[in-house]
Structure 1
Amino acid sequence: MDIFVKVFLVSTSLLWLKAPFTHAASETDTSRLRKDLLTGYDKNSRPVQNHRDTTRVKVNFILKGLDLDERKSIFNMHAWTVLVWEDGHMKWDPKSYGNITRVHFSAHELWQPDLTVYNNADKSEIDHFGNTRLIVYNSSHVVWVPPTKFQVPCQTDLRKWPYDQQTCSINVGSWAHDGTTLDILIPSNISTMDVTDFRPNREWDLISNTFEKRTKYFAEVPYPDIVLKLNLARKSSSHTACVVIPGLAIAAAILIAFWLPPGSSERLSILLVTILINVLYLYYVYSAIPNNGDSVPLVLLFYRDSLFMLAFALVWTVCLRYLAATKRDSPVPLPSFITGFLASFPAKILCLDPRPTTGRRENTGSEGNEQGDGAANGNPNPFGSGVEKNNPFQDDWAWLAHLLDRVAFMVYLIIYMIFYLALL
């Protein structure tokens, strides 16, 4: 037993004696290259040998997604920003470092262009670019492709809602440098962002996008920036189903009511129910559409004006019932020019039914005999009012009311057609 204990102690002592002489892991070519490149490097200074030299940054965008908040008038764009510039301190001979031609650096280890959004709407976010790694090539070129979120105000014009199109702009440029120290370059043969991996939005379709370089001069000093413009169109299928089509049904209900005789109870019922439905949809559209200042959406104007027209149609119906069915104690003939127009061809087309011409008769004092005479003469009251007719000109007044009703029908039809042409 003692022999085994002694052997164990001796072997443990030998291992302990060898431990201090174990060699540390050898330094790799990559770590040696990184150490040499970062020695004496100042990430807060522009990477040029002469301060008069201009740093040129090539910029491109790969669009990934977008979103537009109408109520807040805020537009969000998600993209990958491709930035390429030349860093004069990042240059080496690959043969001295195991033929390494490129090396990675963490975010903010090297100098980065101070690009920012001039019309930024995110007050809490100044750094718009994600902290991704940079790729440095032995030719001194630095490539940085950070994920980017731009949030800018976008004033929406909802007048054509839900068939509206919106244009949102983003201005990107250097915050501290002018064009003589940091110049922005864009690809000469490209004027639109790459949308190969674009994720469609459920509310908006991307119609077009452009980006261009713009240079402004202040005291003869150039200040370049990039202007991104995105044109969006609303996906209106669901809004058409729940807002526009009911408006068409309301218009059809009003026209059907005008086709009914003013004396019928169904006409008043249709108008009253349609007024209630119109009020509900007017409130719904007002709640669904954000407040847009002086530019009132046409669909909201449609339901507002339709409510006025319904109210006028209700008053019109009451007036026509009085005109056509009120019993007059003394004969009141129509003016000659109205009588002449009633006998004209356009009046016959508008009134559709044959004009009554045999309804002028004396009052017998018996309602039953009068109704029998009317049936025998083939001249029923076109309004169905059931009022005893002791006026020989009563049929003329009833037919005038019938003509006015047809004229109102044509006027309402034309107005609603104009409404829908303007809306669509």
Structure 2
Amino acid sequence: MYTKLKWILLIIMEVAYCEIMESDEGNVIKAILTNYTKEVPPKNAGSDVLSVHVVMNLVQIISVSEKKEEMATSVFLTLEWRDDRLKYDPSKYGGVNVSRIPADDLWVPDLILQNSKDKDKFDFSLRTDVLVFDTGLMQWLPPALYSSSCEINVELFPFDWQNCTMIFRSLSLSSEELALTSADNISVEQAVFVQNGEWNLTDGPARSQQTTRGGVVYDEVTFYFILQRKPQFYIMNLIVPCILMMTFSCFTFFLPAVAGEKMTLSVSTLLGETVFLFLIAQRMPETSRSVPLIALYLIFSMSLIIFCVVLSVIVCNVHYRSSATHKMPDWIKIYILGKLGRILGMERPPPSSPWQQACERRRKRIAEITERSLRSEKLTWRSPSERMFDNQADRLGFRRRHVENQTTGFTDIISSTAGPVNPTSIPSHLVHVPREYKDAIDQVNYIAQNVKDEEVRGQSCDDWQYCAAILDRLFFWIYTTIFIIGTLAFYVKVTTASYPEKN
């Protein structure tokens, strides 16, 4: 059955060929191919150099691979030249002024894509028929799928533009035998052109030039593809998620240190940024010529998040301090708890319970005494025990050991000549109690001392926690400011970049 169909098709094709050859066009083909040699290039009268005009008709930019640094295109090349050997008089053949002859039966320019990245293909995809006019004009429109090398510059990725080229030259004919000319621009017919989803062709100039290889000068035709990337895909899938993750990381400083989630949030954000950076590295070529702008922004974001982790460690370290492990320096009380807290709007709320009010009064009194002692110029140096004795003497009704001399203005010590202390001058609440009450008083004193110590420890922990809260607010503003400045710098770099304009 298969053999019968094969023979039927062969008979049909032979009959059709015979009909063509018997037509006027067939008679033209028979006449012009008689004594014609396709291995010899045309030699036209008046010139020893054959001129071939090359026009590229772009159908589609299939893809541009940054990783492989190549561009895939679908094009039609229009080649025009003259061959006086194929002239004929159309009046002798029924007015036929154009004939279609297979390219394999004629001499055609042996143009190759010089920067092809296809290992096995440098020629056209389909060798179509050549249009032969009665004047000797030859037109050949072979289609081709090309894969050409393209040096990728990813500095402004994903807001970049690329300049890819396709270079054609003769395989064997030098410029003394073959001259290549071209149109000014790549031809794009909107009726057949297929838009690319990622790249937009902004301009397509074409140039003819000569190059020397092995001491031989060749003519070349170079087609330039000025491509601008459409960044919407990368904006929605890379840039916006990165900015949202960085914004989300700012709230790390609002988490209380006691929750224990500060480090978890920062590390999770850091892992997300690492995934995005890995995706960018998968698309970029392995070159050191330039670094993508989006990669720089991701590295900036990761550095900020690492900085956030370090600041979170500092805040947690301060939050969990107490009087049993650390003594709060005076500069922290003055500059951080005092001045910086007011600047950041984090002043302590007024105490609500009597115990808190008593602690606040005690803290303020100690601070006033300390400040007055440090600022006073008239007080001479005294040991802590002497200063404590004088303070307690004022509270309990005793005479002060140190008094201010009204004449000199300095502090004097009361001499022992004043005599023994009169028992009647001792306050009644300090007179010895009966022995049967001594155990109860000792227990009360023990409880009072423990309560006082507990108040001191609680006040110390509250001070460290308040200090950690102030540092959290300070680090938040520093982190947010750096993040906003870096993002604005990224935006300014994109908007001020120079892009080629269409001629």
TM-score (norm 1): 0.76
Stretches of structure 1 lacking an aligned partner (at least 5 in a row):
1-23, 360-367, 380-385
Match 1:194 to one of 188, 191, 203: 188
Q: Deviations over 1:109-156 (max 9, x none)?
A: 111111111112112113225211111111111111111232211132
The answer to whether the aligner puts 1:166 opposite 2:162 as a matched pair is: yes
The answer to whether the aligner puts 1:293 opposite 2:290 as a matched pair is: no
Identity %: 21
Stretches of structure 2 lacking an aligned partner (at least 5 in a row):
1-17, 365-455, 495-503
What is residue 258 of structure 1 aligned with on the other side?
A: 253
C-alpha contact 2:250 2:476 (8 A) present in aligned 1:
no
C-alpha contact 2:58 2:76 (8 A) present in aligned 1:
yes
Question: What does 1:11-410 correspond to in 2, within 5 Å?
Answer: 27-48=22-43, 53-66=48-61, 67-128=63-124, 130-187=126-183, 190-196=184-190, 197-216=192-211, 222-260=217-255, 262=257, 265=260, 267-287=262-282, 289-294=283-288, 295-323=290-318, 326-328=321-323, 330=327, 332-334=329-331, 339=335, 343=339, 348-349=342-343, 351-354=344-347, 356=348, 370-371=355-356, 373=358, 388-390=458-460, 397=467, 401=471, 404-410=474-480
- SS of the aligned residue for 2:188 comes to coil
- SS of the aligned residue for 1:303 comes to helix
Q: Partners of 1:392 and 1:110 in 2: how far apart?
A: 97
The Cα shift of 1:43 comes to: 0.5
Q: Structure 1 residues 90, 318: closer, same or farther in 2, change over 3 A?
A: same
Query: Across the two proteins, how many residue pairs are aligned to each other?
Result: 378
The Cα shift of 1:215 comes to: 2.3
Q: Structure 1 residues 292, 298: closer, same or farther in 2, change over 3 A?
A: farther
Q: Partners of 1:194 and 1:390 in 2: how far apart?
A: 78
Q: Structure 1 residues 373, 304: closer, same or farther in 2, change over 3 A?
A: farther
The Cα shift of 1:79 comes to: 1.1
- SS of the aligned residue for 1:148 comes to strand
Q: Partners of 1:418 and 1:161 in 2: how far apart?
A: 17
- SS of the aligned residue for 1:326 comes to coil
Q: Partners of 2:140 and 2:179 in 1: how far apart?
A: 17
Q: Structure 1 residues 112, 283: closer, same or farther in 2, change over 3 A?
A: closer
Indicate the structure with greater helix content: 2
Q: Structure 1 residues 332, 55: closer, same or farther in 2, change over 3 A?
A: same
Q: Structure 1 residues 133, 244: closer, same or farther in 2, change over 3 A?
A: same
C-alpha contact 1:342 1:400 (8 A) present in aligned 2:
no
Q: Structure 1 residues 75, 395: closer, same or farther in 2, change over 3 A?
A: closer
Q: Deviations over 1:6-30 (max 9, x none)?
A: xxxxxxxxxxxxxxxxxx9994433
Q: Partners of 2:215 and 2:249 in 1: how far apart?
A: 66
- SS of the aligned residue for 1:105 comes to strand
What is the Cα-based RMSD across aligned positions, in Å?
A: 3.8
What is residue 388 of structure 2 aligned with on the other side?
A: none
